């Protein structure tokens, strides 16, 4: 029997559409449950145990090749990898994705996911990754001008030709990822640009920039100030309120004069630009997109640090002007992690750490960032350079986290927190249900041979209260004690089970007791060891007759 041509066409149409719809509904995305935002990959929550490649490492596929099995052996499940505008569009509108394809194939072979870093118009403030045909046409792609009217080798945010060229290239990239990856989902997120930030002044001073600076503030900002001013981050709030809470007028009228206002203004335009790039990309392939920031050193003024990037004091500006950017992330090359993370985890911004300086302490900090801030991911920078102690430590801590992630990712645990401790830090007290858990550095034990050492290894732990009397602790170098908050009850250990220790995996389960728990007095993870321990408590009355 001959089938009617129209019926065949309809069947093919339905089939193609359902494949597309199936793929779309499965795409990596963010989901919010309660106050927690998580990354979902193939419909399951996903924890990024990552590492970012050094800037030039992905420019040659054969250079990168030997690293993939190493990354796999270290337990990395994700690599953050640059895609260079200059290499994918060497001549205008001629795209070459062969290197992206090969890198993606190598990642897949090693069961590693990718976060792509779009090195487009800006990379660390500068514009060194734009193609030669952009670099050499400053007429069409204008540079910024500082307050001395001096041109900088940085592309201006006020050029529509530059924006068009960038978003065209980015949308081609995302179209290509859609084509090759919509079912497998090796690419799980994309970073738009890299560490956007204005130098050496807080804003641009070209004629176009000056004109925009003298214009009325954008309508969406005005409406935010009218309706949502309670959501202003402290620095913006002080600035705006101190200037009389005005909602109409140009930037100086609303925020006052000075370099802080210059920075707010420039941030608005950077954010709108990044947003338009993200919108163009998401139109082709809608997966989560984020921007990252270089954190200023203490005491530096706008213009002295890469200004106007997605920094905490500008978070509202970025959130309003860039609604298609899902996450605003800090890069860590300074030690004040808690200070900055507290500032980043406001206004529904989930924490994701795309870069942190590679060192042995990463293998303790990760527990803290996952536990305390429920970070979506953690990624030391220039991961291919991890060797010796750093590599072993990171591999061990990622193995522990991998075993913990079924607990970590579920929505049903009662409480979760994390600590990070160095020599000189006080122990942390954490309230979990009916218990007060005290976690301290293991080297503080009075009999520890390392107590008097001049430096101590960093220690860290993630603690999860699984049910009323059950806990899991993953980490390194800590001692934990449990108290019942009811003074009439004494918390004791029913059992402490070691589920992982230093690369020995699940087969190395020991029941810890005796010396290992100080005869039932505490939970301990020795410094230099990485463990997951499951703890069960019981309570006895304080005054047994």
Interface residue list for ligand DGJ (CB under 6 A)? 55, 124, 194-195, 331, 355, 381
Kindly state the smallest distance separating residue 523's Cβ from ligand DGJ, in Å.
37
Using the minimum distance from each CB to ligand DGJ, give the nearer residue, 266 or 292. 292
Residues 6+ apart with CB under 8 A from 112: 68, 71, 72, 76, 77, 78, 79, 186
Q: Are 188 and 181 in contact (CB under 8 A)?
A: no
Using the minimum distance from each CB to ligand DGJ, give the nearer residue, 121 or 194. 194
Distance CA 396, CA 383 (A): 15
Distance CA 154, CA 198 (A): 9
Distances (CA, A) of 76 to 49, 292, 394, 418, 420: 5, 21, 9, 21, 21
Distances (CA, A) of 368 to 258, 327, 357, 464: 38, 20, 16, 12
Kindly state the smallest distance separating residue 195's Cβ from ligand DGJ, in Å.
4
Kindly state the smallest distance separating residue 415's Cβ from ligand DGJ, in Å.
34
Kindly state the smallest distance separating residue 82's Cβ from ligand DGJ, in Å.
8
Residues 6+ apart with CB under 8 A from 358: 380, 381, 382, 383, 385, 386, 390
Residue 264 token pair: 């707010």
Q: Are 367 and 460 in contact (CB under 8 A)?
A: yes
Kindly state the smallest distance separating residue 150's Cβ from ligand DGJ, in Å.
24
Tell me the three state secondary structure of residue 407: helix
Distance CA 421, CA 338 (A): 12
What number of other Cβ atoms are within 10 A of residue 540's Cβ? 11
Residue 458 token pair: 């960093």
Q: How buried is residue 30: exposed, middle or buried, by Cβ count under 10 Å (0-12/13-18/19+)?
A: middle
Residue 301 token pair: 């003024």
Kindly state the smallest distance separating residue 331's Cβ from ligand DGJ, in Å.
5
Using the minimum distance from each CB to ligand DGJ, give the nearer residue, 126 or 394. 126
Using the minimum distance from each CB to ligand DGJ, give the nearer residue, 334 or 422. 334
Tell me the three state secondary structure of residue 157: coil
Kindly state the smallest distance separating residue 328's Cβ from ligand DGJ, in Å.
14
Question: Which residue lies nearest ligand DGJ, judged by its C-beta?
Answer: 195
Using the minimum distance from each CB to ligand DGJ, give the nearer residue, 381 or 482. 381
Kindly state the smallest distance separating residue 439's Cβ from ligand DGJ, in Å.
31
Q: Quick one: CA dihedral 448, 452, 453, 458, positive or negative?
A: positive
Kindly state the smallest distance separating residue 42's Cβ from ligand DGJ, in Å.
29
Q: Are 472 and 533 in contact (CB under 8 A)?
A: yes
Using the minimum distance from each CB to ligand DGJ, give the nearer residue, 52 or 326. 52
Using the minimum distance from each CB to ligand DGJ, give the nearer residue, 124 or 397. 124
Length of the chain (residues):
545
Kindly state the smallest distance separating residue 306's Cβ from ligand DGJ, in Å.
10
Q: How far apart are the first and last CA of the chain?
A: 92
Using the minimum distance from each CB to ligand DGJ, give the nearer residue, 55 or 127. 55
Using the minimum distance from each CB to ligand DGJ, give the nearer residue, 188 or 196. 196
Distance CA 36, CA 124 (A): 30
Using the minimum distance from each CB to ligand DGJ, give the nearer residue, 124 or 379. 124
Kindly state the smallest distance separating residue 410's Cβ from ligand DGJ, in Å.
33
Residue 130 token pair: 């734009």
Using the minimum distance from each CB to ligand DGJ, give the nearer residue, 55 or 379. 55
Give the closest residue to 109 by CA, choosing from 184, 4, 191, 25: 184
């Amino acid at each position: 029997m001959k089938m009617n041509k129209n019926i065949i066409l309809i069947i093919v149409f339905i089939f193609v559409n359902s494949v597309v719809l199936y793929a779309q509904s499965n795409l990596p995305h963010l989901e919010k449950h309660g106050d927690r935002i998580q990354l979902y990959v193939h419909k399951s929550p996903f924890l990024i145990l990552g590492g970012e490649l050094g800037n030039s490492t992905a420019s040659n596929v054969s250079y990168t090749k030997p690293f993939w099995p190493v990354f796999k052996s270290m337990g990395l499940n994700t690599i953050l990898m640059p895609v260079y505008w200059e290499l994918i569009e060497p001549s205008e509108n001629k795209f070459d994705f062969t290197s992206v394809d090969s890198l993606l194939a190598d990642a897949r072979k090693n069961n590693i996911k990718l976060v792509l870093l779009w090195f487009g118009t800006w990379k660390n403030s500068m514009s060194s990754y734009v193609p030669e045909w952009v670099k050499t046409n400053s007429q069409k792609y204008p540079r910024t001008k500082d307050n001395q009217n001096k041109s900088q080798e940085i592309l201006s945010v006020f050029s529509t030709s530059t924006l068009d060229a960038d978003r065209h290239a980015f949308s081609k990239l995302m179209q290509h990822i859609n084509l090759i990856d919509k079912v497998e989902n090796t690419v799980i997120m994309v970073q738009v640009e890299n560490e956007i930030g204005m130098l050496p002044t807080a804003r641009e001073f070209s004629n176009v920039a000056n004109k925009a600076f003298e214009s009325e503030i954008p309508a969406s900002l005005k409406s935010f100030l009218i309706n949502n001013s309670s959501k202003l981050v402290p620095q913006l709030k002080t600035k705006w309120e101190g200037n009389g809470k005005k909602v109409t007028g140009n930037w100086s009228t609303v925020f006052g004069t000075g370099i802080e206002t210059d920075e707010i203004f420039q941030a608005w335009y950077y954010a709108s630009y990044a947003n338009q790039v993200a919108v163009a990309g998401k139109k082709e392939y809608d997966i989560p997109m984020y921007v990252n920031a270089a954190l200023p050193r203490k005491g530096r003024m706008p213009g002295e640090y890469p200004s106007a990037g997605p920094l905490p004091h500008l978070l509202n500006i970025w959130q309003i002007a860039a609604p298609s950017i899902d996450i605003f992330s800090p890069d860590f090359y300074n030690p004040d992690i808690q200070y900055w993370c507290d500032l980043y985890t406001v206004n529904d911004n989930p924490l994701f750490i795309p870069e942190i300086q590679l060192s042995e302490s990463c293998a303790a900090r990760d527990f803290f960032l996952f536990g305390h801030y429920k970070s979506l991911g953690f990624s030391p920078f220039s991961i291919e350079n991890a060797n010796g102690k750093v590599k072993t430590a990171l591999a061990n801590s990622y193995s522990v986290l991998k075993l913990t992630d079924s607990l970590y990712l579920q929505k049903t645990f009662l409480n979760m927190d994390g600590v990070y401790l160095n020599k000189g830090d006080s122990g942390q007290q954490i309230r979990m249900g009916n218990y007060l858990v005290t976690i301290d550095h293991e080297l503080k034990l009075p009999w520890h041979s390392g107590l008097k050492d001049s430096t101590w290894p960093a220690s860290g732990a993630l603690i999860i209260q699984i049910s009323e009397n059950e806990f899991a602790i993953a980490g390194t170098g800590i001692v934990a004690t449990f108290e019942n908050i009811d003074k009439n009850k004494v918390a004791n250990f029913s059992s402490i089970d070691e589920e992982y220790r230093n690369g020995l995996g699940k087969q190395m389960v020991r029941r810890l007791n005796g010396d290992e728990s100080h005869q039932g007095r505490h939970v301990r993870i020795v410094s230099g060891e990485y463990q997951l321990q499951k703890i069960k408590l019981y309570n006895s009355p304080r005054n047994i007759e």
